[in-house]
Amino acid sequence: MSDFVSEFWNWYVILIVLVSILACGAFLWSQSIHHPAGAETTDTTGHVWDETLAEYNNPLPRWWMWLFYLTVVFALVYGVLYPTFGRFQGVFGWSSANEHKKEVDSMDAKVKPLFDKYLKMDLKAVAADKEAMEMGGRLFQTYCMQCHGAAAQGSRDKGFPNLTDKDWQWGGAPEQIVETIANGRMGMMPPYGGNPDAVGGESGAKEVANYVRSLSGLSNNSELAAKGKTKYEAVCFACHGQDGKGMQALGAPNLTDKVWLYGSSEAKIVETITAGRANKMPAWKEFLGDAKIHLLSAYVLGLSTGTEKN
């Protein structure tokens, strides 16, 4: 990759641009040569229609030619003033990144008083404010819907949690929601399929899956579930607890509440046990800032009840 950022490519681009512009000028000059006034010309392009209708190779009209020359001059002047030639930034030092930053800063300056107003308020109070929830909803549609969906109900196939129920993998207290959005989360279910000493391979995983399904009151094979309980108590309880209610501090989900991030079928649970799961919630603090995260957190807090999620 270092070859593509070497100084050679900078000069390569500069040369290509300059040659292209100057070549246009040279071509225009070659086409501007005209015969003296009154002289006859028989030079044609070779195109003839209807036996006698010929296309003469005369120069372009002078006014048209000068317009083309003007575009060549404009291109050279533009290249001096704005980024055109390789890494040269131009006399004005303009860049799309700086322009975007100016626009963002300008808009932030306009809305900052409103954001600051809500930032000073308690999260539950913000969640009860209609205007704040409209703003939070727009932020959610911009930054969060790609994973959690427009209705915030997530996607079970991809492991994106439903934010409209009362089930929280990392905790639903206001400060826990802020922590999740600001700093992100990394959920990890280790794979046990490659370690026969853990749950006993796929057959053992099937036994554990039946026991886990029984914890949620789902249909299961009682004989397999009984065997799976022993394996669960030897391997799984460290994270999910003896009673299967999970541990929010670790992000270990509750296995008794009938809420499933990847699906509750026996096949899906066996897949989870044998292959493991890795799920990441990105951190938004650096990108959004405290004020927007505060509004987003309040919006998420109020998604299920309008004011609070337990």
Domains delineated in the chain: 2-34+42-81 (no CATH), 103-184+282-301 (1.10.760.10), 188-281 (1.10.760.10)
Per run of 10 residues, the mean pLDDT along the chain (length 310 residues) is 70 92 89 60 73 77 88 93 89 89 87 90 93 94 94 86 91 94 94 80 91 94 94 92 92 91 92 92 94 95 62
Give residue 308's pLDDT: 40
Give residue 306's pLDDT: 53
Contact present, 180 and 280 (Cβ < 8 Å): no
SS3 for 44? strand
**What DSSP character marks residue 109?**
H
CA 76 to mean position of chain CA atoms: 38
Query: What tokens appear for 22 in the block?
Result: 């100057």
Strands of the chain (E only): list them: 44-49, 53-56, 185-189, 277-281
Reference 264, options 227, 219, 207; nearest CA is 219
Give residue 309's pLDDT: 38
The rounded distance, in Å, linking the Cα atoms of 169 and 188 is 12
Reference 257, options 304, 218, 224; nearest CA is 218
The rounded distance, in Å, linking the Cα atoms of 310 and 296 is 17
* Inter-CA distances, 8 with 15, 121, 156, 190, 272, Å: 11, 56, 50, 48, 51
User: Cα-flanking dihedrals φ and ψ of residue 44, to 5°?
Assistant: -125, 170
Give residue 39's pLDDT: 52
Give residue 35's pLDDT: 55
Give residue 2's pLDDT: 53
Contact present, 126 and 132 (Cβ < 8 Å): yes
CA dihedral 143, 149, 154, 156 (to 10 degrees): -120
